[in-house]
Amino acid sequence: NAGVTQTPKFQVLKTGQSMTLQCAQDMNHEYMSWYRQDPGMGLRLIHYSVGAGITDQGEVPNGYNVSRSTTEDFPLRLLLAAPSQTSVYFCASSRGQGRTPLHFGNGTRLTVT
């Protein structure tokens, strides 16, 4: 099993551009989530999904969209990138929300200039 795979590993965007951060898992996990981590900070929850077709907001959802059309994939979209979205983004999955351990990807480092 590859676990949780995030692409790309690094990305530089200009303000106003859009992009999609990809997250895929091959563990048949129902629960998936996105976090961002700023320097010296803990992880902050952006959006999460408890299954295909179901998404919900986390602590810091503004400026991000998500969808969950399949169990395996949970892409994160930035529609109008802003410098405040410069961060490291982590995707995580688990068999069930709050009931089993999270498995994390290796992160995407995003810089918005």
73 contacts: CB under 8 Å, gap ≥ 6? 22, 23, 24
Output 58 or 63, the one with its CB closest to another protein. Answer: 58
Q: Does 27 bind another protein (CB under 8 A)?
A: no
Output 18 or 100, the one with its CB closest to another protein. Answer: 100
The single residue listed with the structure tokens 């969209």 is: 65
Near another protein by CB under 8 A: residue from 43, 67, 72, 95? 43
Q: Rounded to whole angstroms, how far apart are CA atoms 107 and 22?
A: 10
- Applying CB under 8 A, the site for another protein has a residue count of 27
Output 41 or 82, the one with its CB closest to another protein. Answer: 41
